[in-house]
Structure 1
Amino acid sequence: MTANILFSARPELWPVYQPLMTQYLTNAGVAFQLGTKFEPDQVDYVVYAPNSGLRDFAPYTRLKAVLSLWAGIESIVENDTLTVPLARMVDHGLTQGMTEWVVGHVLRYHLGMDRHITVQDGVWAPDPPPLASDRTVCILGLGALGEAAARALSALNFNVTGWSRSAKAIPGVTCFHGEDRLRAALTQAEIAVLLLPDTPATENTLNAETLSLMPKGAHIINPGRGPLIDDQALLAALDTGQIGHATLDVFRVEPLPASHPYWTHPNVTVTPHIASETRPVTSAQVICENIRRGEAGEPFLHLVDREMGY
């Protein structure tokens, strides 16, 4: 039987994904029709971006799965009309990009690069950093992205800890889990990297109380989700020096409004949601593998747990 695959994403992505998916599905031996328009009751799979405009899945009575092009699925996971399996994007290209960005900014803080780049005052003042093994980096969120970043930092001999809501085990990483262990993780975190999903349970994970637990002068790196941080609490902690600096790539409102105090705060680095991006070449492979699996009766990869929200 031929699988009808609806591509529901921004129009400019269609000419990018269409030839890639055609190649991968053909190579996999899948009989398919791929397009941007089908009668809803004839669709087997929806390749989906949350900004595509598709919200009502009820008419898609033949649907086998919705395959998201985005890693973040918070805008769709509670859609009551979506009752079929939902797979989020776990793309090795996205993972590699995120790992590179995180490692780069951790090293920037660890080595004190900002000081040597921005201060050229003619004063010879040697102040070497500690070795990586004497610096504790805490990864909040140990999903695919968090685990990859943790492994990369551990390979550089950082003292890596991690926290997640459920138990995880990663070689070379001290793993904490559960709400009661978040405090233990943060009290050691000289550098904290946020890679948690955006759910009601993770909103404001960093707030006035949890920020106060961190070592004075600690650094924050957030390439995860904007709502993970209470913005006013972070600004206050930056003003008192409790937090030394924050590098923020994601925000509650994007683009970040020009009037937002993050832009002008001397101890904040704003990057415009560039920590990582879905690469069509690799993400199309992930999508097509799930379609192949669906047609072969095999389990889908990267399915979302609706109760957990990710």
Structure 2
Amino acid sequence: MFYSPVNQSQLISNVDRLVRDILFGTINFQQVKSQLNEFYYSFMISLDYELNYSKPIQAFIECTNKIIGNDYSYNVFWDNEKTVQFINLLSNYEKLIKKDYSAWHYQSHQNGKRLEPNIRTLISDHPRLLFIRVDLKYIQELSHHITIRDFDFHMKKLRDAIHNGDTCFKHLLSQAWSLEHGEDNGGFHCHLLLIFDGEKHYKDSYLADQVGQKWRAITEDLGYCFILNTKEYKDGLARYGKLGIGMIHRNNLQEVENAVNAALYLTKPDKRDGSYQRLKVFLPNMNTFGQSMVI
């Protein structure tokens, strides 16, 4: 693993947010200038041209290149004149970025349209199913070591383990996953749904913990797992009539609808906290959402 002194995922998220704040937010001129001076050098020296970046970041690169030209990044100071140039140039990308945002929303909707009938068919075919929901993350103090290549490698190892039915994935019937990029902490993470045969498994919190241990092993203790299948978390959902994880019974219509909604959370582009958690850096041909029947 490549150990970087710069938190690349956070830096990428910051640059993406800066562009969106300029075009669609309430950021003022002095804040723009300050953030350009804070982010520009570190971002440019860590730029990897073998990767694909979000449309806001592509706009950032193109606009700054037009202004800076052949100057070395460490010689650049973003004064008032350069900052005005940057803001003016960036305005030319507003329609492109809005169009890309709309396409992302549309794709998320299509992902949901494909996932929902699969979930409903699975429920109709089994009297009871065990729904496991975990979020696979990285320890915040160590997350600056994690690049998109590391995240992709870890996810491939996890999907291989799921496909092979290793240990905690035995009797798994279906799975879905969504890859995201935190905005405030810049962390890469995966929302994972696992659906087990309820005739073979019933201890959902135990299974979820086993998945977390598998993730920690795959990441060599850089990762941690947020488990939704705890008693406390489920009790909170139950109080609002929204419990859709754990054991789901086919003949309980409320449980079924809640389970479908819990599954569709993976396909929602805008999360409950209002943050923009779309991946902002990709490997070529990298998928950010997937689902499959394991059996």
Same fold (TM > 0.5): no
Name the structure, 1 or 2, with higher relative contact order (CA <8 Å, separation 6+): 2
